[in-house]
Chains A and B, each alone.
Chain A
Amino acid sequence: MKKIIWPVLALLALAACTHKNNDKKLPIYGERQPITKTVDGKTFTDTVYATIPPFSFVNQNRQTISENDLKGKTYVADFFFTSCPSICPTMQRNMLSVFKAYQGKADFKLLSFTIDPRHDTIPILKDYAEKLGAKADQWYFLLGKKEEVYQLAEKNFLVSVSEDNRAPGGYVHQGWLVLVDKKGRVRGAYDGTNEKQVQQLIVDVQLLMDEDENQKT
């Protein structure tokens, strides 16, 4: 009897832990609006969350990448430039850890937007990506107009960072890794120079990948 109790207890503990993990929900950042819907004669209020707006950039293989390529996919975005002498090398090394943790997963992508489009041309981005060991079908190094990158970064991707800071601006070059869910909603920002936060990001990516896309939040 005693022999059976221990495996049963272990299984129960494991089930409890797994259950707890599934229950953990990441916050949803950005503006939200309540909308009233009527279904089958019943009126109820739903919430519409802010999502990353449509965008169009070119990746290291000269392919156009837009929000349509990311529909139904969990992804991590960051802002960098290849000649960055300070925080970017650490940040991109940590981004590489995230990439390696989910390498080959079709429903997970990484986006690195350059904030120096004048110098970071497609061949330079391609070379940088290859040297880093990034695979072009999963990790996009994106080139576009600087103003558009800043607009997207400040108004959309870094919304959780600006919510926590009162001083306006100055967040784009702070090394944030932004986690976005399958519906295009920002679910977290992690300090890309802090290994502990990057490890947490790796755990949280799985939470979002396991999330049911049609589930109400």
Chain B
Amino acid sequence: MKNKLIIAAFLLVFTACKDTKNDEKKLEAKVMEMHEKVMADGERAMQNKMKLDTLILKKDSVKKAFPAMDTSAENKTMRTLSSQILKADDAMSDWMHNYNPDFRKKSHREVMDYLAQQKKIVGQINTAYKSVIQSSNQYLLKYKKK
């Protein structure tokens, strides 16, 4: 009877450990999945940044193509959009740089808290990217007309 109890206790501990590890893996996979999506958005944002930077540099050609345009004011808007994209991009690369997947010295609770926090940060970066992609897409539309 005593032996059976010991085996049962071991099995219980083993199953519990397996479950906590699975929970950590699942949450980590979610963070990574989000990160992958944000990276693709980052690429789209960077495409817009390159278009904006080119337009800023080619101010004279823009003036020729759109004589009625206040190119100084437009340049200011473009610089703001470009720096917003850069800010979102820097936030993403800082996150990746600071992310530490070494959980060996952390308890299950600490790992789960850390991953939940990371998920939140990546979510915030995602929101920033989405917003700046939308506003720069919208802004760039006016140059497509010609």
Contacts and interface: CB of A to CB of B under 8 A. Distances in A.
A83 interface: yes
A171 B42 CA distance: 11
Interface of B: 32, 35-36, 39-44, 46-47, 49-50, 53, 89-90, 93, 96-97, 99, 101
Contacts of A150: 43, 46-47, 50
Interface in A150-171: 150-151, 154, 168-171
A116 B97 contact: yes
Report whether over half of chain B's contact residues are helix, strand or loop; otherwise say mixed. Answer: helix
Interface of A: 81, 83-87, 116, 118-119, 146-147, 150-151, 154, 168-173
Given A116-B96, A118-B90, A119-B93, A85 B43 contact: no
A169 B93 contact: no
A117 to B, nearest CB: 9
A169 B47 CA distance: 8
A146 B43 CA distance: 10
B53 A147 contact: yes
Most A C-beta atoms less than 10 A away, residue of B36, B43, B50: B43
A119 B47 contact: no
A170 B46 contact: no
15 contacts: A85-B32, A85-B101, A86-B32, A86-B36, A118-B90, A119-B93, A119-B97, A147-B46, A150-B43, A169-B43, A169-B47, A170-B39, A170-B41, A170-B44, A173-B43
B100 to A, nearest CB: 9
